[in-house]
Amino acid sequence: MQIGNLDLGSRPVLLAPMEDVTDIGFRLLCRQLGASMVYSEFVAADALVRMVNKSLEKLTVCDAERPVAIQIYGKDPIAVRDAAQIVVERAHPDVLDINFGCPVKRVAGKGAGAGLLQDVPRMLEITRAVVDAVDVPVTAKTRLGWDSEHKIIVPLAEQLQDCGIKALTIHGRTRAQMYTGEADWTLIGEVKRNPRMHIPIIGNGDITSAEGAVDAFERFGVDAVMVGRATFGRPWIFKELHDALHVGDHSVDQAIQSEYAPMTPDWKLDVLKEQVRQSVERIDEYRGILHVRRHLAATPLFKGLPNFRQTRIAMLRAETMDELFAIMESTRPLIREAEAALL
């Protein structure tokens, strides 16, 4: 699959943009584990134009994580255009993505993100302004429509393509659904089958397993899949998907330093430790650990361990890497026992 001149190979799997999740450390780890391209946390255009330091920090990328896309959002065409220019000048991303899909109230409720599904002319104006303003491939991410009565993605995809975007990501839910229910991929497939569409279509929503990814490519014909919430505490999902989609390719087997075989519980624990390490190295010890806590709380690796509550609490309260690693190491016998019980 190609986005402009950027070749992502066959059946690429992408890391979705997620606020407070896809920081530089997590992006780098996901690339090492098999993600074909990673996306930044979404950045508010208004904040970039006002040069807000916290937003400018989100533009930090490193060569090791490339190809990388930076995603911006906003409702004012001029502000989004200016923000796009700032992003390209400062970060030189491989792709610039526009968020037309975020459903949360503080974004969509103010007319940005998925809110623009109720104002398509403005969405198209923003898209044209950004495409004309920068010299990197511009893409967009959106949803099926505002609600079940207004699923407009099939004609909208054509309109966005006509504005000059080089790829379109579609989340298989409406804004009204937020993240409830199941993602509906039928309209994603319909967009892909539209003979008038020639840009890559990236499917997003409920890709949580290798079987789901394979099905997305074979049944709906998408050019790529994007994985979001399933990565929480489970960055190795990219290896799972890579191994299923590229049988016989073992290029990511040595993604991290570990004495254990890939995909074993011991190896997965080492992956989580590496995530902590990279987060601390890229930010600082205190904030780096804070960034990883969400993943430690969500990881399926610790699910169902007996008498684990106090250990979990201690893990989420740890403030130094040494303290956190000692607690994580104490779980190693438990996760081995849990794995053995399943055999």
The catalytic residue positions are 102
Residue 179, Cβ neighbours under 10 Å: how many? Answer: 13
Backbone angles phi, psi at 125, to 5 degrees: -65, -45
Residue 224, Cβ neighbours under 10 Å: how many? Answer: 24
Integer Cα distance of 21 and 267 in angstroms: 22
Contacts of 189 (CB under 8 A, 6+ apart): 219, 220, 221, 222
Integer Cα distance of 204 and 225 in angstroms: 6
Integer Cα distance of 130 and 164 in angstroms: 9
Give the type of residue at 174: T
In this structure, what token pair is assigned to residue 43? 């950045």
End-to-end CA distance of the chain: 39
Q: By the 8 A CB rule, do 61 and 70 touch?
A: yes
Residues written for the chain = 343
